[in-house]
Amino acid sequence: MNTDSGILRSALAGEPLDDVLVIDVHVHWGRWLTMNLPAAEDGIVRKMRRAGVSKACVNGILNPDVAEGNDQVASAAKRYPDEIIGFAALNPYQPRPMIDELRRCVEELGMRGLKVHQMVSAPAYSPFPIDPLDAAWTQVWEYLDARNMPVLWHGVVEEAVIARFSGIPFVMAHGLSSPATFRALARYPNFHIETASTQNTRWYMAEAVDVLGVDRVLWGTDAPLDDFAHRWGVILDSDLSEDEQRMALGGNAARLLAL
């Protein structure tokens, strides 16, 4: 633990972190059919304010109707423009072509990135196999690549996609807890990880920074499945310098999002 960090001292004292840009890159929005998450909507913003989170990248990927989920996210971003950054969700099983929904999300709703989830690729959930380089997905990647828009991924994305579309910053959801994966993909400069996980072994942060550099590590919580305050520790209970903590907590995300 870096006991010289002023951020750590302020956090432990319960003081506001007004001079720290904190961006959570992994937050879900909307009511889910299978889980009771009473803080999954406006309650998230109240929790963000109490915990000192400046901005959150929110997505509605777990709404079975992705268009409805995207509309909910856009509505939230309109209500909280300084705090909510919308990420689009796509589903290849729905009748609307993914590229059309992505264009709507970016060009009409103002989304700043894309979230993909294993529910549209893992055999346990998928009615048919997913090829992330088929024509439909390639249209999606090309659109994002031309705009350097980030993708938060939990499934669907494979090494070949990261290698081919170098203009997309790919952020592996829960990536800090997968050292074997981040070591294998570290050679791609557009590969990044975020910190959301129920547990992160303490030395994973040191390993990730050693392998990737601190500029490719972003703070994420998976809220509301996990709590903002609980996830402070993965950054603050580390040997990162205060400048490095600032990068991981928000500076790196701000750069990828061109804020």
**Could you list the residue range(s) of the whole structural domain that residue 96 is in?**
6-256
Give the pLDDT mean for 182-189: 97
End-to-end CA separation in angstroms for the chain: 30
Mean pLDDT (whole number) for 47-71: 90
Q: Is residue 79 part of a domain?
A: yes
Q: Taking residues 188-194, report their average pLDDT.
A: 98
- Among residues 151, 63, 62, 136, the alpha carbon closest in space to that of 106 is found at 151
> Are residues 30 and 62 in contact, defined by beta-carbon separation less than 8 angstroms?
yes
Cis check for the bond before 224: say yes or no (omega within 30 of 0): yes
- What is the pLDDT confidence band of residue 80, given thresholds at 50, 70 and 90? very high
What value does the mean pLDDT take over residues 192-200?
85
Radius of gyration of the CA atoms of the chain, in A: 17
Residue 114, domain member (yes or no): yes
Range in 35-49, 91-105, 238-252 with the lowest mean pLDDT:
35-49
SS3 7: helix
The mean per-residue pLDDT over the stretch 136-158 comes to: 97
Pick from 115, 90, 120, 118: nearest CA to 102: 90
128 inside domain: yes
Q: What is the pTM assigned to this prediction?
A: 0.93
Give the rounded distance of the alpha carbon of 136 from its chain centre.
Answer: 23
pLDDT above 90: percentage of residues in the chain: 61
Q: Is residue 1 part of a domain?
A: no
Q: What is the pLDDT of residues 2-32, one digit of tens each?
A: 567 788 787 777 777 778 999 999 999 887 7
Helix (H, G, I), strand (E, B) or coil at 213: coil
Contacts of 148 (CB under 8 A, 6+ apart): 167, 168, 169, 258
Helix (H, G, I), strand (E, B) or coil at 131: coil
How many domains in the chain?
1
CATH number of the domain that 166 lies in? 3.20.20.140
What is the C-alpha separation between 112 and 105, in angstroms, rounded? Answer: 9
Residue 123 CA to residue 6 CA, distance in Å, equals 46
Residue indicated by tokens 């709404």? 63
Q: Provide the token pair at 184.
A: 């294998």
Q: Is residue 105 part of a domain?
A: yes
